[in-house]
Amino acid sequence: MAVDPRDIATLTPKFLSTVFKHFKNDIPDSNWDLKLHLAITMVRGILQRGKHKTIEKQQKLLAKAHIPSPPSISIKKAIVPETCRSQAEDIMAGLLSGQEEKVGWRWKEDPMKQNPIKGEWVEAKNRKKITSADRVILYIHGGAYFMGSAAQHRFLIQRVAKAGAARAFSFDYRLAPQSPFPAAVVDTLAAYFYLIQPPADAGFDPISPKNIVVMGDSAGGGLALSIMLVLRDAGLPQPAGAACWSPWVDLFHSLPSIFSNASTDYIPNGFVNKASPANPIKDYTNVKERLERVQYYAYNSALSIPYVSPILADDLGGLGEIFITCGNGERLRDEAILFSHKASKTHPEVFECKKPGVRAFPPTKVSLNIYEAMPHVFQLFLFHPAASNAVKRTGAFIRKIIPEPTNDSSSSSSHSSFSSIYSNSSSRGYYHREKEVSSIKDMNTLKQKQSSTSLQEFFDDEIDEDMNEDGEINNFTNKHIDIKGNCKRTNDMLDEGTLREWANMLGKFPDLKLHPEFMDV
């Protein structure tokens, strides 16, 4: 994250106050050490000071920000062809047919389309020496949909790519509010098409969807899940799975942790920026004016569209395998938990789709990791053991769902060409684990293929819980992990009553009488 020197000057008193509070044991969470306490104070302060900047200035600052990569990392620039974006537009136009008024603007005529989609390949230079599998991560950066860049997140991307023995492709999608929904979804879908249908001069062969993991943090995590829904609903080949860090899936801010975890997270009550051409709201004390557009990313009328708020989809089944990580102290915790339960249909009586005319899909396989005391996207704080542990667990997930190739027939069939996958769109959902791993013996073979001893523990851990005692696939795994990265307990499930209560909260703005802080400037 880029830091304005003036922000540091302003934050210095906050740092001193934090140190004083810490040694007085006035800590939002007793598990925080001083270093983490100071880091969260810094990020919170920078975001709160965003109201003094225009969106345009903030976007420009963050677009250029990045931490230099070490010599062991290869960075190659790329451009996603406009033909990929045109194809993505056609897909989205079909899915959004009849909802043009809800979307709220002429998105096909967006002038920002004159700017090409810029991307970059990130990988360890020795990747091919340590793996024979061609794993590809399509990484989508976070930033509340209106800030951030691929370069800014490169310091995280390179670590995940290394942990997963993969190469990563990240890109700069169009940002809101200049280009609201569905611009970011279209650009993400275009990047996916670029990977599976590259032009002749791209410098790489078409990549099988089964060799791709879509990944993102925060808003990028939400986009990753949106794309999974888009591909499912359009009948197109899905990737092997998705890895999401603190995904933002509920743009209504419906659930309790948005307020109950305010003191243990750095996310502000709302993103407020100085009035500018991109953000014409001049009087933020005018509640009515603020409520007409709560989020920069989408008009209020569009927030209920599942490709904006994925958790609101009638059915979250039929998706590729999903790995979700969140912090127990973050404000988006509850939506990550509820999404995981809803997608895996832990309680069919609550989550099974029974709407007339709406197709019901089989449960999605979901692994949820909740880290004790951690805030939103805590992986940013690389110095902390929980952050490095989360990166390793994510890498283990990527290695697991895209295993090392074998010489048997089951392996060759699992790495079929894109054209054959595309022609069999009825198989979308890809329960590839059932096809690629048909027995405990196969799982043990996969374990032996792992080349990294440091990741072996996590890999074993995940494999052991892929099946229950009856040899059936577990669709939901929930791990609670302490601040040192140790698994405290596994497979806790929320009770049906709480899940039903939370599900009934979705799609509604918070009660301003109960939570006036929602509109704080």
Whether residues 190 and 159 share a domain: the answer is: yes
In order along its 521 residues, the chain shows pLDDT tens digits of 455 555 555 667 777 888 878 888 889 999 999 999 999 999 998 888 888 899 999 998 888 788 889 999 999 999 999 999 999 999 999 999 999 999 999 999 999 999 999 999 999 999 999 999 999 999 999 999 999 999 999 999 999 999 999 999 999 999 999 999 999 999 999 999 999 999 999 999 999 999 999 999 999 999 999 999 999 999 999 999 999 999 999 999 999 999 999 999 999 888 888 889 998 877 777 777 778 889 999 999 999 999 999 999 999 999 999 999 999 999 999 999 999 999 999 999 999 888 888 888 999 999 999 999 999 999 999 999 999 999 999 999 999 999 999 865 333 333 344 444 333 433 333 333 333 333 444 444 444 444 444 445 554 455 445 665 555 668 999 999 999 999 998 888 889 999 999 999 999 999 888 888 887 75
Q: What is the DSSP string of 162-224?
A: HHTTEEEEEE-PPPTTTS-TTHHHHHHHHHHHHHHS--TTSSSPPPPGGGEEEEEETHHHHHH
User: Would residue 290 count as lying in a domain?
Assistant: no
Whether residues 83 and 136 share a domain: the answer is: yes
User: Would residue 512 count as lying in a domain?
Assistant: no
Whether residues 390 and 490 share a domain: the answer is: yes
Position 17 scores a pLDDT of 85
Position 50 scores a pLDDT of 82
Whether residues 413 and 477 share a domain: the answer is: yes
User: Would residue 100 count as lying in a domain?
Assistant: yes
User: Would residue 187 count as lying in a domain?
Assistant: yes
Domain total of the chain: 2
Whether residues 372 and 456 share a domain: the answer is: yes
Q: Are 150 and 114 in contact (CB under 8 A)?
A: no
Rounded to two decimals, what is the model's pTM? 0.88
Q: Which two tokens stand for residue 122?
A: 């990130």
Whether residues 76 and 19 share a domain: the answer is: no
User: Would residue 328 count as lying in a domain?
Assistant: yes
Position 8 scores a pLDDT of 55
Whether residues 172 and 30 share a domain: the answer is: no
Q: Are 254 and 295 in contact (CB under 8 A)?
A: no
Whether residues 3 and 137 share a domain: the answer is: no
Whether residues 207 and 93 share a domain: the answer is: yes
User: Would residue 63 count as lying in a domain?
Assistant: no
User: Would residue 148 count as lying in a domain?
Assistant: yes
Whether residues 189 and 47 share a domain: the answer is: no
Position 10 scores a pLDDT of 64
Residues spanned by the domain of 134: 68-255+302-505
Give the three-state DSSP class for 347: coil
Q: Are 221 and 138 in contact (CB under 8 A)?
A: no
Position 465 scores a pLDDT of 58
Q: Which two tokens stand for residue 364?
A: 């999605």
Whether residues 129 and 186 share a domain: the answer is: yes
- Cβ count near 56 (within 10 Å): 15
Whether residues 116 and 200 share a domain: the answer is: yes
Of all helices (H) and strands (E), which one includes residue 73? Answer: strand 73-80
User: Would residue 520 count as lying in a domain?
Assistant: no
